[in-house]
Structure 1
Amino acid sequence: MRSDAQLRSDIVAELTWDPAITATNVGVIVKDGVVTLTGHPSSHAEKYAIERAAQRVKGVKALAIEMPVKLASDYERTDADIAMAVERAIEWNVLVPDDKIHPMVEQGWVTLNGEVEWEYQRRAAEGAVRSLLGVTGVTNRVVVKPKFTPADVEKKIREALERQADREAEQIKIEVNGAHVTLSGKVHSWAERKAAQGAAWSAPGVANVINNLLVEA
């Protein structure tokens, strides 16, 4: 088990390694495995990169984000300009269905509303606007509403599991409650656990996956 000092050192190293991050502008505080990140990133894209970098480090139990975005004067844009850029970014993204996402911008913060059929479309909409100039944050309120019944979703996940990992598929239990999927049972490696989760996320209409699979060597 890593000490707090070792964990902090690993996080700082990961931040320094990522070229999208100015590591010297990020403060890292660790107590009992809980990490607090402080500072003022110059864009929402950098803030997102900082959060993801910290999450990649082994031993992080939880993250507290205290990093309001502080735009450089050259990066500042009016809400009207940002809203227009957001609309175009969504319109030009082939993964986002037309006329399904309705953005709102207030003081640089983008809120996405709407309904889509797939989780990847929800994520694509957020990804399309995250790095736009002037954006200080993104709230993704897009809802995944499937056109499939829970039985259809379970069947498609089961078929995907059998294609990808036939030996493990029989030991995995799938529960579908609306757009929420829970996986339980046993697999033989972390790679198989991750693959099973990916298969569940790829099913139509899935908005949340709870992965309770146990790795048993």
Structure 2
Amino acid sequence: MKTDLEIKQDVLEQIEWQNKLDKTQIGVIVNDGIVTLTGLVFSYAIKLEVIDAVKKVAGVKAIAEEIKVGYISTLNKTDTEIANTAIKMIEWNASVPNNKVIVEVENGFITLSGTLEHAFQRDAAKRTVEYLTGVKGVTNNITLQQIIEPKDVQEKINRAFVRSAVIDALNITVEVTNNTVKLTGKVHSISEKEEAQKVAFNAPGVYEVQNEIEIVH
């Protein structure tokens, strides 16, 4: 089992390796496997990359994210400019149906709302705007109204787990009640836990995923 000090060192090295950042830019505190991140970065995209790097470190149970985004003056955009760009990018994304997503921007923070049929469409809309210049954060309030009735959902999810190169299917149990999927079991990283949830959400007819998978060292 890793100590908190070992996890901290691995986190700092992973951030430096994956993001080519000077690890002194990011503050890392680890307490019982829970990682708190602090510091200042110059784009929301970098912030997301740092968080993604930490999720890949074995032994990290949870992340408390307190990283601030501060754009340099030449990269600042007005809320109107951000909104216009976000709308165009969503319209150009073939995975997102036209005229279904509402974009609101306040002080550089984007809120997405509307109703879509599938989880992958909702995720695609969020990913489309996360890396736009001037964006400080994204809240995804898009709801799902799937028209496909879930049949054999448990079997479909289990088969998807088996196909995955990231997920250890033998260590995860899938339970399905109506349109809700409950995941239990044990994995070794936040990335694996989140990948399991993502796979379950992509199954037809799934509205909610209760992810109770434990992370073990």
Q: Please state which band the TM-score falls in when normalised by the shorter chain.
A: 0.7 to 0.9
1:15 touches 1:54 (CA, 8 Å); kept in 2? Answer: yes
In 2, the alpha carbon distance for the partners of 1:67 and 1:165 equals 36
CA drift at 1:53: 1.0
1:108 touches 1:136 (CA, 8 Å); kept in 2? Answer: yes
**What are the within-5 Å matches in structure 2 for residues 68-147 of structure 1?**
68-147=68-147
Structure 2 residue 173 is the aligned partner of structure 1 residue 176: no
1:161 touches 1:196 (CA, 8 Å); kept in 2? Answer: no
What's 1:189 paired with? none
Q: Deviations over 1:34-67 (max 9, x none)?
A: 2110001111111111111111111112211111
Q: CA RMSD in A?
A: 3.0
Give the percent of matched residue pairs that are identical in Structure 1 and Structure 2: 36
Using a 3 Å threshold, how does the CA distance of structure 1 residues 9 and 100 change in structure 2: closer, same or farther? Answer: same
Task: Between the two structures, name the one with larger relative contact order (CA 8 Å, sep ≥ 6).
Answer: 2
Q: Give the letter aligned to residue 152 of structure 2.
A: K
In 1, the alpha carbon distance for the partners of 2:126 and 2:66 equals 21
2:160 touches 2:199 (CA, 8 Å); kept in 1? Answer: no
The TM-score with structure 2 as length reference comes to 0.80
Q: Deviations over 1:117-149 (max 9, x none)?
A: 11111110010000000000000001111113x
CA drift at 1:163: 8.1
In 1, the alpha carbon distance for the partners of 2:160 and 2:54 equals 33
- 158, 166, 170: which is aligned to 2:155? 158
CA drift at 1:194: 9.0
The TM-score with structure 1 as length reference comes to 0.80
Q: Give unpaired runs (5+ residues) of structure 2.
A: 164-168, 187-192
Q: Give the letter aligned to residue 155 of structure 1.
A: D
Using a 3 Å threshold, how does the CA distance of structure 1 residues 91 and 71 change in structure 2: closer, same or farther? Answer: same
Using a 3 Å threshold, how does the CA distance of structure 1 residues 211 and 141 change in structure 2: closer, same or farther? Answer: closer
In 2, the alpha carbon distance for the partners of 1:138 and 1:163 equals 29
